[in-house]
């Protein structure tokens, strides 16, 4: 799970060598540390023609302790409200952002309208164009600065605040070049004792997710196979949660989990389908076992568990939020991973299919698609292939489990109510395409 090149290149000789030879120089990412001030520099909020949110965004940032002022030095965040742009001529206004962009070391966030909500081809084209702008700017940003796009629906108030806070914070360190729609969801009042369940919690992303959910006040039910015994107990102890030994593919897993949550906890507020496996082989060499096991754990289990929880009275608390762990490889395809990519793209289909029926019952479901993350799963990739995969993103490094966990933790909160049926990539703007 180490990145020897990344460590070397941050030393004096490493920096010198990389600069002379043009080797990648991954920036040090600033992540959330409890009690540590992240944004010492001020933020700047810029409203372009027809901007609707600048006043609100400014007060949200100020209420969160960030100074919002033009200043002359570095900026920790630049928020540009482009929701009102409707004509190609108005796109010229984006050029005015260049000086502030040059001064920003942290977060750039562009607010846009949802093209499908607008009338007229020009307005739609212009708003769609912002996606290309943001994705390109993310590739030009330096020093670990990220650039993302929020497409804001009318009435997005609370959810927009929560999204602005997440995207302008250290918690989104590895989310880069991504668009996300923020709708008008109504957050359910948080229960006094919130409960989250995380499958595959014994290590990697699952363990980090348990930590983040515990930090935001959840009792975390840490689920993993019996074989993960000690590691699972260690995670549960660390987060003051509890354990449940469960093979998510077992016939009775849905009933066991649902009864456990209903009887012991009065239902779950957040359900994270994280357990996943790989059995990489080229398609022609794939045997049935490698195909079936990956689809069973990664796709069939989340489908069955979700159905089981929905059917069992009391297994879910009002406003419960599901998060599925998909994968950038599922969106883009990956050599040697036909089985894995089928399962992970399948989860996107599951999220899209369930969003509406779940919303009718007051629940929500989203997916997070990690890119290359430093975990035991990726440590198993052959070294050269691993090094290439690790650098193939705009931040030139692999993410850490905590990066994915922060995004999952945010989407699991009631405040994220306006985010539903979507896929958020946590991949440093992975360059594999899709
Ligand atoms: N690591 C990455 O780069 C990466 C990238 C994209 C997506 N993901 C996805 O994120 C999730 C977590 O990945 P990770 O790298 O932390 O994996 P990991 O291999 O480190 O951990 C997976 C956990 O799932 C558990 N698990 C496996 N089968 C299970 C079963 N049948 N029942 C219960 N638990 C089971 C394992 O015991 C393990 O603790 C997976 O769904 C993975 O596909 C990971």
Residue 224 shares a structural domain with residue 360: yes
Summarize pLDDT for 282-300 with one digit per residue, the tens: 999 999 999 999 999 999 9
CA atoms within 13 A of residue 338's CA, in its CB half-sphere:
11
Residue 132 shares a structural domain with residue 252: no
* Percent residues over pLDDT 90 in the chain: 82
5, 322, 340, 410: the active-site residue: 340
Q: Does residue 52 have a pLDDT over 90?
A: yes
Which residues sit with their C-beta closer than 6 Å to ligand 1? 199-200, 202-206, 224-225, 228, 247-249, 274-277, 297, 325, 327, 370, 372-373, 375-378
Residue 160 shares a structural domain with residue 274: no
Please give the residue that has the higher pLDDT: either 110 or 386: 110
Residue 173 shares a structural domain with residue 50: yes
Q: Write down which residue in 182, 206, 224 finishes a domain.
A: 182
Residue 232, in any domain of the structure: yes
Ligand 1 atom nearest the C-alpha of 206 is 16
Residue 229, in any domain of the structure: yes
Residue 92, in any domain of the structure: yes
Residue 43 shares a structural domain with residue 140: yes
Q: Give the Å distance between the CA of 308 and the centre of ligand 1.
A: 21
Residue 16, in any domain of the structure: no
Residue 55 shares a structural domain with residue 203: no
Among the residue ranges 25-29, 61-65, 211-215, 358-362, the one predicted with the least confidence is: 25-29
Assess whether 340 carries a catalytic annotation: yes
Q: Write down which residue in 150, 182, 214 finishes a domain.
A: 182
Residue 202 shares a structural domain with residue 176: no
Residue 137 shares a structural domain with residue 49: yes
HEC profile for the chain? Answer: CCCHHHHHCCCHHHHHHHHHHCCCCCCCCCCCCCCCCCCCCCEEEEECCCCCCHHHHHHHHHHCCCCECCCCCCEEEEEEECCCCCCCHHHHHHHHHHHHHHHEEEEEEEEEECHHHCCCHHHHHHHHHHHHHHHHHHHHCCCCCEEEEEEECCCCHHHHHHHHHHHCCHHHCCCCCCEEEECCCCCCCCCCCEEEEEECCCCHHHHHHHHHHHHCCEEEEEEECHHHHHHHHHHHHHCCCEEEECCCCCCCHHHHHHHHHHHHHCCEEEEEECCCCCCCCCHHHCCHHHHHHHHHHHHHHHHHHHHHHHHCCCCEEEEEEEEEECCHHHHHCCCCCHHHHHHHHHHHHHHHHHHHHHHHCCCEEEEEEECCECCHHHHCCCHHHHHHHHHCECCCCCECHHHHHHHHHHHCCHHHCCCCCCEEEECCCECCCC
Ligand 1 atom nearest the C-alpha of 329 is 6
Residue 276, in any domain of the structure: yes
Ligand 1 atom nearest the C-alpha of 207 is 16
Categorize the per-residue pLDDT at 147 as very low, low, confident or very high, splitting at 50, 70 and 90: very high
Residue 7, in any domain of the structure: no
Categorize the per-residue pLDDT at 5 as very low, low, confident or very high, splitting at 50, 70 and 90: confident
Residue 176, in any domain of the structure: yes
Mean pLDDT of 224-231: 96
Residue 297 shares a structural domain with residue 166: no
| pLDDT value for 433 | 65
Categorize the per-residue pLDDT at 71 as very low, low, confident or very high, splitting at 50, 70 and 90: confident
Q: Does residue 171 have a pLDDT over 90?
A: yes
Domain count, the chain: 2
Output the domain CATH number for residue 136.
3.40.50.720
Mutate-to-test residue for ligand 1 from 200, 244, 350, 430, highest number of ligand atoms within 8 A of CB: 200
Residue 362, in any domain of the structure: yes
Summarize pLDDT for 368-415 with one digit per residue, the tens: 999 999 988 888 888 888 998 899 999 999 999 999 999 999 999 999
| pLDDT value for 202 | 98
Q: Does residue 434 have a pLDDT over 60?
A: no
Q: Which domain, by its residues, includes 221?
A: 194-426
Residue 171 shares a structural domain with residue 247: no
Categorize the per-residue pLDDT at 186 as very low, low, confident or very high, splitting at 50, 70 and 90: confident
**Cα separation values, 234 from 210, 231, 398, Å:** 12, 5, 25
Q: Give the Å distance between the CA of 377 and the centre of ligand 1.
A: 7
Residue 335 shares a structural domain with residue 235: yes
Q: Write down which residue in 141, 156, 182 finishes a domain.
A: 182
Residue 159 shares a structural domain with residue 283: no
| pLDDT value for 40 | 82
Average pLDDT, the chain: 94
Mean pLDDT of 144-167: 94
| pLDDT value for 16 | 85
Q: Give the Å distance between the CA of 275 and the centre of ligand 1.
A: 4
């Amino acid at each position: 799970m180490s990145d020897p090149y990344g460590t070397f290149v941050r030393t004096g000789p490493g920096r010198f060598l990389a600069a002379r030879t043009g080797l990648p120089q991954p920036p040090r990412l600033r992540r959330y540390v409890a009690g540590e001030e992240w944004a010492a520099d001020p933020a700047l909020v810029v409203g372009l023609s027809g901007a609707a949110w600048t006043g609100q965004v400014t007060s949200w940032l100020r209420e969160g302790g960030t100074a919002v002022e033009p200043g002359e030095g570095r900026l920790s965040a630049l928020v540009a409200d482009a929701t009102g742009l409707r004509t190609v001529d108005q796109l010229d206004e984006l050029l005015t952002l260049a000086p502030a962009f040059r001064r920003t070391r942290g977060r750039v966030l562009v607010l846009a309208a949802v093209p499908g909500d607008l009338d007229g081809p020009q307005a739609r084209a212009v708003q769609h164009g912002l996606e290309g702008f943001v994705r390109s700017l993310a590739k030009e940003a330096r020093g670990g600065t990220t650039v993302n796009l929020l497409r804001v629906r009318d009435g997005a108030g609370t959810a927009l605040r929560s999204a602005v806070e997440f995207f302008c914070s250290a918690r989104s360190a590895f989310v880069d070049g991504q668009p996300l729609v923020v709708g008008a969801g109504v957050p359910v009042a948080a229960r006094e004792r919130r409960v989250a369940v995380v499958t595959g919690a014994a290590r990697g992303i699952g363990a980090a997710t348990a930590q983040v959910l515990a930090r935001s006040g959840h009792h975390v039910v840490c689920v993993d196979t019996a074989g993960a015994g000690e590691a699972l107990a260690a995670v549960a102890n660390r987060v003051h949660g509890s354990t449940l030994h469960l093979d998510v593919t077992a016939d009775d897993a849905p009933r066991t989990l649902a009864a456990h949550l209903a009887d012991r906890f009065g239902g779950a507020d957040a359900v994270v389908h994280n357990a996943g496996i790989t059995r990489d082989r080229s398609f022609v060499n794939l045997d049935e076992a490698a195909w079936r096991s990956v689809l069973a754990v990664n796709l069939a289990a989340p489908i069955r568990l979700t159905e089981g929880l929905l059917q069992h009275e009391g297994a879910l608390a009002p406003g419960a939020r599901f998060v599925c762990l998909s994968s950038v490889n599922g969106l883009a395809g990956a050599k040697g991973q036909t089985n894995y990519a089928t399962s992970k793209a399948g989860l996107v289909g599951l999220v899209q299919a369930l969003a509406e029926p779940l919303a009718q019952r007051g629940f929500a479901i989203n997916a997070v698609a990690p890119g290359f993350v430093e975990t035991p799963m990726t440590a198993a990739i052959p070294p050269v292939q691993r090094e290439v995969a690790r650098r193939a993103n705009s931040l030139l490094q692999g993410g850490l489990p905590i990066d994915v966990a922060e995004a999952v933790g945010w989407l699991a909160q009631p405040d994220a109510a306006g985010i539903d049926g979507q896929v958020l990539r946590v991949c440093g703007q992975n360059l594999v395409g899709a």
